[in-house]
Amino acid sequence: MLVSEAVSRRAEREAGRSRWKAAARFILSEYLVLALCVLYTLVMIPFVPEIATVEVWQNILSDMMPLLIVCLGQTIVLIIAGIDLSVTAIISLASVVGASIMTQSDGYLSGPLAAPAAMAAMLLVGAGIGLLNGLSITRLNMPAFMVTLATTNFFGGSAIWYTTFHSTTTSIYDLPDMFISIGDRDIAGIPIAVVIAVAAALIVHGVLAYTILGRWLYAVGKNPRTAYVSGVPVRTTILSAFILSGMLAALASIVYTARLQTGTPILGERILLDVIGAVVIGGTSLFGGKGKVIWTVFGVLFLVLIDTTLKLLGASLFVIYVIKGSVILAAALLDTLRTRYLGVR
């Protein structure tokens, strides 16, 4: 009798361990957030039937694209255990600089070269601010949080000043059709914005997965001192991460500005929470050394899905921010638990 009870208790303990391991594998799975997206959609269908329609999913896809591009840059920075708060200022400044160059109302350039030159200038703005961030962090040994917080305020204000300097209105209008087509036209039935976002995602994935720079990024994020001893150029790697983040934010600015058909200094000012939140929700670690493009795609999808359903429910902006903030906090907590669990293992 005692033997059978002991065997039964042992079997129960083994079953409990098996359930715990299965739960841990699910939490650590790359496809956790995708599974949550499917589950969330199924749960919300009775409350928001529109979520099952093609039109709504087309809108979700459209909203995802520029946000995904910004999040790709944030993914790179988080992998090195950094953070880039300046992406919204880059979006704003790049928008008004590009618009001032190509506007057909007293723009600096005209003709077929105006739009390409403006887009090149926008990318240069992003690269320049990223370079400034990176140099301040690597040469002056300043925390990334403080550096990018300062630059987001400085360049956000600069965007407003530049707009008032160039235009008598708060925005710059009358952009050329060649540029606007990025936001409202397609190639073989695929929106140009989707093509740009997918191309950017594939390039970033290639860099992270198949290049020496990608290995350096992960190494610096895991342990910069060990990476330095191993021969990794830590300063160059950090600098590269912030330049790439700046350029991707500027690329997103191109898509946002084309969709809005206007250059404005307040473009993207409310998306910082979404940018950091989507990357963290996807599974990229705040502690560095871990992150993938596919995780970021799932994180962006989940956050846009929540945002869309809440708007369809008629929720106020306050409620939307509270719920999104709670989800992001839960994701950060999960990231902490994952890091501890993997550390114990």
pLDDT in tens, 244-272: 999 999 999 999 999 999 999 999 888 99
Q: What is the DSSP letter of 189?
A: T
3-state secondary structure of 290: coil
Q: Where are the domains of the chain?
A: 32-342
d(CA 34, CA 274): 17
d(CA 71, CA 251): 11
Q: Can you tell me which residue has the tokens 């058909």?
A: 261
Say what the pLDDT of residue 109 is: 87
Say what the pLDDT of residue 285 is: 87
pLDDT in tens, 178-231: 999 998 888 888 899 999 999 999 999 999 999 999 999 999 999 999 999 999
Q: What is the DSSP string of 260-305?
A: HTSB-TTTTTT-HHHHHHHHHHHT--TTSS---HHHHHHHHHHHHH
- Taking Cα atoms as reference points, which of 149, 131, 137, 15 lies closest to residue 86? 149
Which secondary-structure segment (H or E) carries 125? helix 114-139
Say what the pLDDT of residue 167 is: 72
pLDDT(344) > 50: no
pTM here?
Answer: 0.90
pLDDT(287) > 80: yes
pLDDT(340) > 90: no
**Both tokens assigned to 246:** 């700046």
Q: What is the DSSP letter of 106?
A: T
111: exposed, middle or buried (C-beta count within 10 Å: 0-12, 13-18, 19+)? exposed
**Both tokens assigned to 264:** 């404005």
pLDDT(106) > 90: no
Which secondary-structure segment (H or E) carries 186? strand 186-187
- The percentage of the chain sitting over the pLDDT mark of 70, rounded to a whole number, equals 89
Q: What is the DSSP string of 42-97?
A: HHHTTT-GGGGSHHHHHHHHHHHHHHHHHHHHHHHHHHTT---TTHHHHHHHHHHH
**Both tokens assigned to 130:** 């990223």
- The architecture of the domain spanning 32-342 is Orthogonal Bundle (1.10)
Say what the pLDDT of residue 320 is: 86
SS3 content of the chain, % helix, strand, coil (to 5): 75, 0, 20
Other Cβ atoms closer than 10 A to 265: 24
- Taking Cα atoms as reference points, which of 28, 100, 34 lies closest to residue 296? 34
